[in-house]
Amino acid sequence: MKIFDTYKIKINDNLKFSLYDLKKIVDARQTFTLRNIFDCIKRSSISLKILKEILNCPYLDEYMEEAYTKKAKSKKISIHRLEIGYYMQIYNKETNESWEFYGLDKKSPNDKKSRGKITERYALDFTPLYNIIDLPINISNKMTIYNFNETDEKIPVYSDFHPLLTLKKLLDIILHELTFNGSIENRKKLIKMLNKRLKDFKKQRKGKK
């Protein structure tokens, strides 16, 4: 083991992070869960009130409460694991880069067994957290690049790289996706609205036949 590895943050049952720890690099080789993340937040020496301000996540406590709720998992869910990935889009002279947190099915786009077939990626902002709290999370060591200067089609190129994420950045990425729709109440309203639109759309299509 390299010397600098001992200074990396490991997301496990022993982690009780402080304000200083938020600047430390996370060990990207490990696998962890949302339960591990929320447990670490509960154990943190930083108060939840202060942490919500630091992470700009005013609804953190209610999402944590939902995550710990003991409810039967939905049988319809197709997500089997979670991933944090780095994405780059090149268009003319502009380059857009971003970290994303998403769900995957049984195979990964970077998995050799998938034989190059791109797996479905699932947004998590409409997913009740009790459905995914114990799914494994990994940090991908593949950078996904879309170069629109070379092709109009959305065909990605995967490039090996060594992800460097501070603990704060990791928490930002995860919480940004999970709380994207604001409060849980607002998320429910959006789901209801989208379901109504889908129902209306199906009625329109049926009427045209």
How would you write the chain as a 3-class SS string?
A: CCHHHHHCECCCCCCCCCCHHHHCEECCCCEECHHHHHHHHHHCCCCHHHHHHHCCCCCHHHHHHHHHCCCCCCCCCCCCEEEEEEEEEEECCEEEEEEEEEEECCCCCCCHHHCCCCCCEECCCCCCHHHCCCCCEEEEEEEEEEECCCCCCCCCEEEECCCCCEHHHHHHHHHHHHCCCCCHHHHHHHHHHHHHHHHHHHHHHHHHC
How many angstroms separate the CA atoms of 166 and 153, rounded? 33
Residue 15's domain comprises 3-178
In a domain, 40, yes or no: yes
In a domain, 197, yes or no: no
In a domain, 191, yes or no: no
pLDDT at 138 over 90: yes
What's the mean per-residue pLDDT of the chain? 86
Model confidence over 110-119: pLDDT tens digits? 555 544 455 6
pLDDT at 3 over 50: no
Number of domains in the chain: 1
In a domain, 54, yes or no: yes
In a domain, 204, yes or no: no
How many Cβ atoms are within 10 Å of 48's Cβ, its own excluded? Answer: 13
So what's the pLDDT on residue 72?
A: 62
In a domain, 102, yes or no: yes
In a domain, 188, yes or no: no
In a domain, 192, yes or no: no
Structure pTM? Answer: 0.84
